[in-house]
């Protein structure tokens, strides 16, 4: 949750970003959690077609976890035709194709197509059906393309917000610049080769002093294995400082024992 009074500081994205269209939604809570899912993926434009209990509904705000502005800016239409009249491309989520002849895309493929459509300054929308039965044939007849999620065929049940979140997530990934893998270092940094070599010099000096590397035939292989150990991962500068302290303390304790 955001912890904000009045919701998160959400601003409308580009005017050609996709519109999420909920067709005959039944529960206010589902509209609220849909807004939350949209905010997660950077979607803002929400349209409601004939919501069963009317609009606005206070319970939607309670369920949105701070995605208030999406709900405040949502628009209501009586029919699907009204809701899509100003759009150039319309997609429809469809768990069961029902003998319809139309292009079918995965969520990832549809997200890429939506991004391409947006870049051409064309407006697009995604239809999501009522919670109980999904879109009917008349609804899907208004769409250019169907979207079918590749889920476990033995259990493909999603609630409304989950279905929206899948599309919002895939949409976000089409422009996300976060690398697929990175090392979280907080206030330190990945050690440079020079810092690693400085630690290796310290470590090998103390290992020589304590006699650990006294076997000449094995010495080079043992040193090489130690180098491989610290070169294998991204050791941080903080970790090396800790290891410097460990080696120094072990050396100090050994000298104290020898003095006794």
User: Among candidates 135, 154, 132, which has minimal Cα distance to 96?
Assistant: 135
For residues 165, 18, 88, 84, the Cα torsion angle rounded to the nearest 10 degrees is: 70
Where on the phi/psi map is residue 106: left (φ > 0), alpha (ψ -120 to 50), or beta?
beta
> For each of the chain's 260 residues, which pLDDT tens digit applies?
333 456 777 777 778 899 999 999 999 999 999 999 999 999 999 999 999 999 999 999 999 999 999 999 999 999 999 999 999 999 999 876 667 788 899 999 999 999 999 999 999 999 999 988 888 889 999 999 999 998 888 888 899 999 999 999 999 999 866 666 666 778 888 888 888 888 889 888 888 888 877 888 888 888 888 888 777 777 888 878 888 887 887 777 667 666 66
Q: Which residues of 234-253 are buried (b: 16+ CB within 10 A; e: fewer)?
A: ebbbebbeeeeeebeeebee
Residues 228 and 213: their CA atoms lie apart, in Å, by 16
Terminal Cα distance for the chain, rounded: 61
Report field, pTM of the whole predicted structure over 0.85: no
């Amino acid at each position: 949750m955001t912890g904000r009074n009045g919701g998160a500081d959400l601003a409308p994205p580009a005017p050609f970003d996709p519109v999420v269209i909920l067709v005959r939604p039944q529960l206010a809570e589902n509209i609220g959690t849909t807004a939350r899912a949209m905010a997660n993926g950077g979607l803002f434009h929400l349209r409601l077609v004939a919501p069963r209990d009317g609009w606005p509904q206070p319970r939607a705000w309670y369920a949105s976890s701070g995605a208030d502005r999406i709900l405040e800016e949502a628009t209501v239409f009586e029919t699907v035709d009204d809701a899509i009249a100003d759009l150039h491309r319309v997609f429809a989520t469809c768990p069961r194709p029902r003998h319809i002849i139309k292009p079918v895309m995965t969520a990832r493929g549809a997200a890429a197509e939506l991004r391409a459509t947006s870049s051409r300054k064309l407006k697009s929308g995604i239809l999501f059906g009522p919670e109980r039965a999904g879109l009917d044939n008349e609804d899907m007849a208004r769409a250019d393309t169907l979207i079918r999620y590749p889920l476990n065929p033995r259990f493909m049940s999603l609630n409304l917000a989950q279905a929206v979140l899948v599309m919002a997530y895939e949409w976000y990934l089409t422009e996300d610049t976060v690398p697929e893998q990175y090392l979280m270092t907080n206030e330190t940094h990945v050690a440079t080769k020079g810092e690693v070599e400085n630690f290796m010099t310290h470590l090998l000096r103390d290992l020589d002093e304590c006699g650990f590397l006294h076997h000449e035939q094995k010495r080079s292989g043992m040193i090489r294995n130690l180098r491989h150990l610290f070169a294998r991962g991204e050791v941080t500068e903080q970790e090396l400082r800790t290891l410097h302290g460990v080696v120094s303390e072990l050396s100090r304790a050994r000298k104290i024992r020898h003095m006794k």
